[in-house]
Amino acid sequence: MLIVANWKAYVEDIKKAKSLVATSKKLARTTDVSVVLAPPSPLLGILAEKNKSKVAFSAQDVSVTTGGAQTGEATAQAYAAAGATYAIIGHSERRAKGDTNELISQKLAHAIAHGLTPILCIGEQERDGEGRYLSVVREEITLAIESLMPKERAKVIIAYEPLWAIGKTAAEAITSADLGEMVLYIRKVLAELLPGKSSGHSLVLYGGSVEPGNIRPLAGSSGVDGFLVGHASVDPAAFSLIVKNLI
Ligand code: 13P
């Protein structure tokens, strides 16, 4: 199982960040869960420097530019130099600030070109009775990865994060049955876009109000490969319980 802790902008001081890293390193040492931390970018370089632990680091986004006269941009290359090995791309909170499917596709290409494993966030705004949310999911995956080469497409991790489930509580998150259906659907879409049987190796994660109280049922029978955790990932006790409840 892969657990990605998306700290968003919740962590703003280095002491708190270092203590969360220490908690995660212990969890990674004592369980077989793979832990990836996505701190705010100014902190990432400090935390990931000379990292030799089992914990990996992720950018929360990468710039659509590749460097040069671009004030304020943090490129995939700079993230890789700072010690990141993953990059979250297309998070709904970035889409809300203007990331289109086209920009997201370019960001995926930059991330892959610099050796970062992209975690592509997709997910519908709301669930309708006619299944239109399935077309949203299909379109977001297709438009993001279709311009990549087949072997690049196979590197993309899909994180299904329905907007209606983000930032709530475990009780309002998706049910295990609905998640299981969506995971199957995503694998079907990937099978159409990836060569041969390679989509069988693609990882599919879920994010949206993952907490200690719902991690077990969600992991149980849904077929998901891991989770993208937001608010609960910056609470050391909750994050520890999430990881421990997985084993
Ligand atoms: P929450 O876990 O706070 O709902 O956030 C989910 C998310 O957006 C992770 O990327």
CATH of the domain at 230: 3.20.20.70
Phi, psi of 30 (to 5 degrees): -105, 0
d(CA 204, CA 104): 18
Find the DSSP H helices in 74-214: 76-82, 92-95, 101-113, 132-145, 150-153, 176-193
pLDDT tens, residue by residue, 5-45: 999 999 999 999 999 999 999 999 999 999 999 999 999 99
pLDDT digits (tens, 9 = 90+) for 186-195: 999 999 999 8
The number of domains in the chain is 1
- Closest residue by Cα to atom 1, ligand 1, is 230
Q: Which residues contact 128 (CB under 8 A, 6 or more apart)?
A: none
For the chain, what percent of residues have pLDDT higher than 90?
90
Q: Looking at ligand 1, which atom is closest to the CA of residue 228?
A: 9
| Count of alpha carbons within 13 angstroms of residue 64, beta-carbon side | 12
**What's the domain range around 45?**
2-244
Pocket test for ligand 1, best of 95, 119, 227, 231 (most atoms within 8 A of CB): 231
Ligand 1 atom having least distance to the Cα of 211:
2
**What pLDDT, on the 0 to 100 scale, is given for residue 105?**
98
Judge whether residue 234 has pLDDT over 90. Answer: yes
